[in-house]
Structure 1
Amino acid sequence: MASRQSGGSGYSRRIILLALGIVVVVIGYTYGWNYAADRLVAEANARVAALNASGRRANCENAEARGYPFRIGLFCRSIMYVDAPSGVAVRAGAFRSAAQVYQPQRVVGEFDGPAIIEFPGINALEVSWEEMRASSRLASPRPDIVSVEANKIAIGPDSAPAGQRPAASADRAEFHIRPAGTGSDVAWRFERLSLDPDLLGQGTLPLISGEADLHFPVDPVPAFSGRGLRGLATVVNSMVIRTAGNETAARVEGPFSTDEAGLIDAELSLSVENPQVFAQIMAELFPAARDQIRLAVAGAAMLGDNPSLPMRISKGRVSIGFLNLGTLPPL
C-alpha cells in the first residue's frame, strides 16, 4: 500500500513539474515576444524619425506590433511618405505586416487603398485596388527580393469626380526587384490593361497584357528617391506587349537610358508576331500615320512571320525603321 502511494506521489510530482515548466516557458516566450515587439515598434519609429530629419516627411500612424503568439508584424493605421526634393509623395491607408517568429526574415504585408501618389510634372493620382500584397526576404544591406502584387487596379486623377471612368485600369499587376551585383534586376507583369480613350486622343487601343525583365547596372532605388529615373541607364532584357486575346505581340530588347533632362535615348530591337494584326492596331493607335505604318509593316512582313525591326529613341523622338512615330515627353 505504501509503495502505491509513493508511486502516485511521484507521478503527481512529475505532472506538477511539467505544468510549472510549461508555465515558465510560456511566460518566457511571452516576455521575449513583447520585447521583440517593442524593438520592432521602436525601430520603425526611429526610421521614420530619421527620414523626417533628412528633409523628407514620413509617418506610420499609430504604429503597433501584432501577431502574438506565432507571428509578429507592424501595423499602421495609415502611411505617408513625402520627398520634397524629388517631388514624389505617397499617402495610403492601413498597412499590415507579419513574419513567422521562427522565420523573421520572410515578411509579408498588405496595403489598404486608395493611395494618393504625386510625381513631378503631373497632377496627383489616385490608385485604388481590391487587394495588394507585398513580400520580402530581408537581408543586409538590401533585401534579397521585394515583390508586390495587386488585383483590380484603377488609376485616375485625384481630383476626378466620383464615378468617373479611371484613366487606366488592369485586372492584375506584379512588380519584383532583387539585387544583382552593384545593380538590380526589375520585373513586372500586368494583365488586361485598359486606357481611357481621352488619353489616346484620336487613337484607340484594345485590352493589352505584358511583362518586362530589366537590369539596372546601378541600384535604381536610391536614385529614384532623389531625382526619379533621370540619369539612369538600364538594359531591357525582354519587354513584351500583347493583346489580351493573344492575336499579336511585340517584343523589345536593348539598352535604354534617360538624361538629366528626362529625355529618353534607346537603341532597341522590335520583333512582331502576326505583323498584319499588329499593323492594324498601330494604325488605330496612330491614325495620322496609318499609311506609313501599313507600308512599314508590309515591308517588314516580307522578312517572315516574326520580323525584327530597329527601334530608336533619340532625345524622346521615336522611330521604327524609317517611320517616325512622334516624341515622348520627359520623365
Structure 2
Amino acid sequence: MASSSRADASGVTRKLILLAIAIVIAGALYTGGWFYAASWLKDRVTQELAASGQGARSASCSNLSVRGFPFRIGVFCDSLGIDDHESGLSATFGALRSAAQVYRPGHAVMELDGPAQVRVTPDRVLDMDWDLLHASAVAWTDGLDRASVAYDGLKGRFNAPSEGLSIGFAAAHGEKHVRRSGTALDVAASLDALALDLGGKALPVLNVAADVTIADAAGWISTEGPPPGLPRGTSAELRSLSLDLGGGNRMTLSGPVSVDEEGLVSGSLNLAVEGVTAWRDRISEQFPEAAVTVRRVAGIVRGLSGGRDSATVQVNIRRGTVILGLFPVGRIPPL
C-alpha cells in the first residue's frame, strides 16, 4: 500500500513538473513573440513615416516607442505632426498614446494630448486644447471599419486675418462616431454646452447633435480615402440636426440633402421648432442687422403652424435658395 502511494505521489509530481515546464516554455515563447512583434511594429511605423516624408503627405512621431507588455501593444509618441504639401495644411499635436489587445490587434484605443495647431496657407490657423481626448478605432486591411472620438473641456480659436474671421469656441463635452454601413457612411456627432465667439460677439450656449448617413461614402475611411472637392457631389440623409437653447427651446432639421458639383445645396427638410418666440428674440438680439429677416421668418413659421409657438414646417432648398412654405427666405452660398 505504501509503495503504491509513493508511486501515485511520484506520478503527480512529474505531471506538476511537466506542467510547470510547459508554462515556462509558453511564457518564454509568448514573451519572445511579443517583443518580436513590437520590434516589427516599430520598424514598420518608422519606415512608413520615413516614406511619407518623400510624398505629398507626411507624418512625424517624435521619440517613437512601442509599449504595452504583456497583454497590450501600442505606439507612443511625444508629439505628432502632419503635413499635406498639396493643400498647404500642416498640424501639430501633443503626446500620443495607443494600445490594442494582443488577441485583438485590429481594435485600438488612443489618447491624444493638446495643445494642437492646424495651419492652412496662406493665413488660416486653428488653435485648440482640451482636458481629455480619447478615441477608438476598428480597422481591417482595407482601412477603418468604424471610429469614435470623445473629448472634454475643448477650447480654441480659428483665425483667418485675410478673410476678417476670428471665431472662438468651447464645449464641455463632445463626441463623434463614424462607421461603414454597406456603401454608405454613418456619422453622428454632439457638442454639449457649445459656446461660440464671433469676432468678440458671444453667441448663446447651445447643445448641438447631428446624425447623418452619407451615400456612397464608405470608402472615405478606407485606404482609398475621401475624393477631392468635398462636399461637392455628395448626397445624404439628415436623420437629425438639433440645436437646443435649453428651457425646452429646441430646433430640429431632418430630411434628404445634396450638394451638386457647383457646390449648391438642395434638399427637402422638416423643421420642428419648440419656442419660436424665444429663438426669434435670441437671434435678433445677437444679430440686430438681421432682425427684420428673423422676425419675418418667425412670422411665416407661426403662420404656417396656426399661430402656435411650437411648429413643424417644410423647408425646401433649391440650388441654394431656401424656401419656407411659398416664400424664399434666404440663400446658401456655394460650398
TM-score range, shorter-chain basis?
Answer: 0.7 to 0.9
Instruction: Give the residue type in structure 1 aligned to 2:31.
Output: T
Secondary structure at the counterpart of residue 317 of structure 2: strand
- Structure 2 residues without counterparts, runs of 5 or longer: none
1:22 matched residue in structure 2: 23
TM-superposed CA distance for 1:72, in Å, is 1.0
CA RMSD, 1 decimal: 3.1
Alignment of 1:197-216 (within 5 A): 197-198=198-199, 200=201, 205-216=203-214
Of residues 222-231 and 267-276 in structure 1, the stretch that sits farther from structure 2 once superposed is 222-231
Q: CA deviation at 1:182?
A: 2.5
Residue 24 of structure 1 deviates from its aligned partner by 1.0
Describe how 1:160-171 pairs up with structure 2 within 5 A. Answer: 167-171=168-172
Deviations 1:259-299 (A, max 9, x none): 566x4413242221221212222322432232332233133
Is 1:256–1:264's contact at 8 Å kept on the other side of the alignment? no
Q: Distance in 2 between matches of 1:48 and 1:318?
A: 47
1:116 Cα deviation after fit: 0.9
Kindly tell me: are residues 151 and 291 of structure 1, through their superposed partners in 2, closer, same or farther at Cα, counting changes over 3 Å? same
CA contact (8 A) 2:131 2:151 kept: yes
Checking the alignment, whether the CA contact within 8 Å between 1:247 and 1:277 is kept in structure 2 is no
Separation in 2, partners of 1:276, 1:118: 40
SS in 2 for 1:81: strand
Specify the alignment match of 1:248 in structure 2: 249
Unaligned runs of 5+ in 1: none
1:312 aligned partner, one-letter code: I
Q: Secondary structure at the match of 2:83?
A: strand
C-alpha distance in 2, partners of 1:176/1:103? Answer: 20
Matches of 2:189 and 2:49, distance apart in 1: 28
In the aligned structure 2, how far is the partner of 1:132 from the partner of 1:173? 9
Give distance in 2, aligned partners of 1:212 and 1:297. Answer: 23
| DSSP-derived class of the 2:204 partner | coil
- Counterpart CA distance in 1 for 2:228 and 2:90 is 12
Contact 2:265–2:332 under 8 Å retained in 1: no
CA deviations 1:111-161 (Å, max 9, x no partner) are 01111113466621111000001001222423221001111101114899x
- Relative to structure 1, is the Cα distance of residues 313 and 118 closer, same or farther in structure 2, using a 3 angstrom cutoff? farther
Q: Is the 8 A contact 2:117 2:127 kept in 1?
A: yes
Change in Cα spacing, 1:134 to 1:61, as seen in structure 2 (3 Å) is same
Call closer, same or farther: CA 1:2–1:112 in 2, change over 3 Å: same
% identity of equivalent residues: 31
Q: Kindly state the Cα deviation for residue 85 of structure 1 after the two structures are TM-superposed.
A: 1.5
Whole-angstrom CA distance in 1 between matches of 2:200 and 2:323: 21
SS at match of 1:132: strand
- Which residue identity is paired with 2:216? V
CA distance in 2, matches of 1:152, 1:260: 37
Residue correspondences, number: 320
TM-score by length of 1: 0.83
Pair 1:148 & 2:146 matched: no
Flag the 1:268–1:152 CA change in 2: closer, same or farther, 3 A.
farther
What SS does the aligned partner of 1:196 have? strand
* Deviation per residue, 1:70-126 (Å, 9 max, x gap): 111111121111112123322111111111122222211100111111346662111
Deviations 1:171-225 (A, max 9, x none): 111111111223311111111110115265xxx5310011111222232455657
TM-score normalised by the chain length of structure 2 = 0.82
| Contact 1:190/1:211 (<8 A) preserved | yes
**Would you tell me which structure has more strand in proportion to its own residues?**
2
1: CA distance between counterparts of 2:128 and 2:318?
29
